[in-house]
Chains A and B, each alone.
Chain A
């Protein structure tokens, strides 16, 4: 898959050289103060990206992106990033996607996306590179999407553009078939929810608790069972004020299929996702999302239910943006012969203030407070109940 993507990317690059390609570069540098437990990135069970051993001046992200028309209705986007902490590759892809969107001849429009890209779950991550304009760290739901979910396959969208015909409403249907997402669920089950902005790159790794330095896994986006995963959903946009989304996802993993090379099973992960984004005025944005699902693994069918929801309010005027978010999350392991100490219960509160000096320079300060109970921490001699706090100041340069 890696070679195929690289070949495709090279083909597109030659086209891009002739077309009017856009190249983006983002440098995000952070000053961080954290009192959290050892981060999941370093084998701990802390829920923050940065812990006291890894705070101070940090690289938030270095991002490179290419977007180019291939033909009049076919575009290509590649997003690559480096995080500066345990990157397996110094610069790796987050997305590489072809988007075919023929011009509509009526209010009905089709769109096909193919490649590696995000399923339409998040209503927060609207900036290029799947970043949030509201906070530095997306909600627990969207953090998990960034950690473990990527559609590597094909997505079909059918939109009815009713607003064009004066009906004030657009309706969209989406359906996708994908592979290479069989490990999805493992982090959620074994570590619980987290709140951070570190998206897993296509050929990168995610830490597992207790393994230290995220070396435990090889490929994260992998296909173990040769079964195609699917999702389907819909969206409604009303008068440009309200957007509703629903999605049902099932990676159709075969929990009994094991991949010895990476010492892992295919995780069978299904969830329902709902979201609403309300923009009543030019200043206010309100976002709410909820997700509930289940993941199963192994011959004994260890089973976890997971659930999370959040509410975000953001106020923007001129160069200022102020956002607050409250959320709760849980995972419940159904009791098995091995016990059920993988449960996760917690809540988080986030407040962020952003200021744009220009289209190139901006800063954002974020305070994040996350509390929760995670019995698994006993195994690492960490407190079961923990309250973790993190302050970040990001200086961003966008070119």
Chain B
């Protein structure tokens, strides 16, 4: 970038002012916290804020990647907007055969290494569970949502949406280990004047046991 000092500074100041104004008018904070039954925070949980009025569809095609490394899906959970094309590269030295029989997306990628298949478009909202027909220990998830506002909780079980317009939302949470009934995992939230009351999900039931992939090696076989 080339510009003289003075106009550049002026531009930066103007932008900052405009941004600040915009945030005050239509952006707000919607803090969400998820606590396990014993009070400890739940990290890595998916949080989606679904607006009552459907958000506009993205103008450009959306793309995402679900990698396979060391006999694991990476990331373990991918959250994408409906219509996203997800590529499934195989970074392992062994072949994988990825499939899902979930209602939101049923697909099969024949045995492959590297980048043999075109991306898969996830065109319906819902939860998609991924498996590998060669390595049963490989389990991954894709959460497909119509909403543009989603994320995962941090180590403190916390996620704050910071760019939501005022309005009514349904906040939904998901984690592979949550055992509570689905009705307990959503909350109506009103965002007015850039503010919303903090939303805390206190889980009532103990988490389901976690799934591990210990003591395996991609060079081994399935005897």
Contact = CB atoms under 8 A, between A and B. Distances in A.
Given A126-B220, A240-B212, A240-B214, A163 B136 contact: yes
27 contacts: A69-B95, A75-B111, A103-B97, A103-B108, A104-B101, A104-B131, A109-B133, A118-B223, A122-B223, A125-B223, A126-B220, A126-B223, A128-B221, A130-B223, A133-B220, A166-B208, A168-B209, A168-B211, A240-B137, A240-B212, A240-B213, A241-B212, A241-B214, A277-B215, A279-B212, A281-B214, A282-B214
A14 interface: no
B221 A239 contact: no
Contact of A127 (B111, B131, B209, B219): B219
Interface in A78-97: none
A211 to B, nearest CB: 31
A78 to B, nearest CB: 13
Contacts of A279: 212, 214-215
Interface of B: 95, 97, 99, 101, 106, 108, 110-111, 113, 129, 131, 133-134, 136-137, 139, 176, 208-215, 217, 219-221, 223
A355 B211 CA distance: 28
Interface in A116-160: 118, 120, 122, 125-128, 130, 133, 159
Contacts of A399: none
A257 interface: no
A359 interface: yes
Contacts of A161: 131, 136
Nearest to A109: B133
The 10 closest A-B pairs by CB, nearest first: A279-B215, A240-B212, A279-B214, A72-B110, A126-B220, A285-B215, A103-B99, A103-B108, A128-B221, A168-B209
A101 interface: yes
Interface residues of A, number: 43
B220 A127 contact: yes
A165 B129 CA distance: 8
A172 to B, nearest CB: 9
B210 A239 contact: yes
A164 B212 contact: no
A245 B48 CA distance: 41
Given A126-B217, A126-B223, A316-B215, 6 more contacts: A104-B133, A127-B219, A127-B220, A168-B209, A277-B215, A282-B215
A130 B223 CA distance: 7
A170 interface: yes
Contacts of B108: 103
A363 B95 CA distance: 27
A6 interface: no
A159 B148 CA distance: 38
B37 to A, nearest CB: 17
Contacts of B136: 159, 161, 163, 170, 237
A130 B217 CA distance: 14
